[in-house]
C-alpha cells in the first residue's frame, strides 16, 4: 500500500472539503486499494473535529469521511473498469446520490479511524459502495459506523459547469 499513490493525488481538479488536495482547510483524506475488492483510508482527527463532548469525533465529519472515501473509491473503480490509470485518458467523475450512515458507537477523537470500502453493485451510471468506519488503537478495533453510499457517474461537462459557479 505504501508504494501506491492515493486516489486523491491522481484525481484532478478536486477542491472537495473532505478529499480535495486543493482545499487547504479541508480534511484531505487519502484512499488506496487494499486488495482487488476493498479500499482503505486512515484518518487522524484534529481537536476542532469534535462532537458536543470534545473527546469524540463529530458525526458530520464521520459522514464526510465515509462519503469522500466511498466516492473516490467509486471514481477509482470507474478507471479500473476502463483499464485506465486514475487521472489518465477520459475523465471519470462521480457524485453522491445517497448516503445512509448508521452510527454504532462513539469514535474517540484522539484515536485514529480506519475506513474500509467495497463496491458491491454496479449498474449503468450507479455504483453502491458499502463502507465501515473503525476506531483503531494499538490493541483494538471498534466498529463505529457502517454506511451504504450510492455513487452516480456524471459527465465531464459537470466540471466546466461547476467551475463557473465560484
Ligand atoms: C455537486 C457538485 C459536484 C461537481 C462535480 C464535478 C466534477 C467532479 C470534480 C471532482 C470530483 C473529484 C472527487 C470527488 C469529489 C467529491 C466527493 C464527495 C461527493 C459529493 O459531495 S457530491 C455533492 C452531493 N451530491 C450532489 O449534489 C448530487 C445532486 N444530484 C444530482 O445532481 C442528480 O440527482 C444525480 C447526478 C445524482 C442523478 O441525476 P441523473 O439525471 O444522472 O440520474 P438518472 O435519473 O439518470 O438516474 C441514473 C440512476 O441513478 C439512480 N439515482 C439517481 N439519483 C439517485 C439518488 N439521489 N439516490 C439513489 N439513486 C439515484 C437512478 O435511480 C438511476 O438508477 P437505475 O438506472 O437503476 O434506474
Query: Whole-structure pTM over 0.95, yes or no?
Result: no
**What residues make up the domain containing 147?**
7-164
pLDDT value for 156:
84
Residue in 95, 148, 164 to alter for ligand 1 test, most ligand atoms within 8 A of Cβ = 95
- The question of ipTM being above 0.90 is answered as no
- The pLDDT of residue 157 is 84
Does residue 65 line the site of ligand 1, with CB under 6 A? Answer: no
Tell me the pLDDT tens digit for each residue of 15-32: 999 999 999 999 999 999
How many domains is the chain built from?
1
List phi, psi (to 5°) of 72.
-65, -35
- The answer as to whether 110 is a domain residue is yes
CATH number for the domain spanning 13: value is: 3.10.129.10
**72 CA: nearest ligand 1 atom:** 14
Q: Are 58 and 65 in contact (CB under 8 A)?
A: no
Is the residue at 145 inside a domain?
yes
Average pLDDT, the chain: 94
Tell me the pLDDT tens digit for each residue of 45-69: 999 999 999 999 999 999 999 999 9
Instruction: Please check the confidence at residue 85 and state whether its pLDDT lies above 60.
Output: yes
- Split at pLDDT 50, 70, 90, the class of 12 is confident
| Inside any domain, residue 2 | no
51 Cβ inside 6 Å of ligand 1: no
Query: Is 1 a member of any domain?
Result: no
* 151 Cα–ligand 1 center, Å: 6
Cβ of 27 closer than 6 Å to ligand 1, yes or no, is no
Give a yes or no: residue 77 inside a domain.
yes
Residue 81 in any domain: the answer is: yes
Amino acid at each position: 500500500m505504501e508504494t501506491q499513490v492515493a486516489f486523491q493525488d491522481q484525481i484532478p481538479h478536486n477542491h472537495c472539503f473532505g478529499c480535495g488536495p486543493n482545499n487547504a482547510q479541508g480534511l484531505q483524506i487519502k484512499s488506496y486499494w487494499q486488495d482487488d475488492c476493498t479500499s482503505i483510508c486512515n484518518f487522524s482527527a484534529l481537536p476542532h473535529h469534535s462532537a458536543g463532548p470534545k473527546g469524540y469525533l463529530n458525526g458530520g465529519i464521520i459522514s464526510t469521511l465515509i462519503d469522500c472515501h466511498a466516492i473516490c473509491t467509486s471514481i477509482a473503480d470507474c478507471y479500473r473498469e476502463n483499464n485506465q490509470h486514475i487521472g489518465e485518458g477520459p475523465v471519470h467523475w462521480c457524485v453522491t446520490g445517497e448516503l445512509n450512515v448508521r452510527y454504532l458507537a462513539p469514535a474517540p477523537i484522539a484515536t485514529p479511524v480506519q475506513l474500509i470500502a467495497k463496491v458491491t453493485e454496479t449498474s449503468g451510471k450507479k455504483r453502491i459502495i458499502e463502507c465501515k468506519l473503525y476506531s483503531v488503537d494499538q490493541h483494538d478495533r471498534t466498529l463505529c459506523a457502517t454506511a451504504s453510499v450510492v455513487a452516480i457517474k456524471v459527465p465531464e461537462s459537470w466540471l466546466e459547469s461547476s467551475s463557473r459557479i465560484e
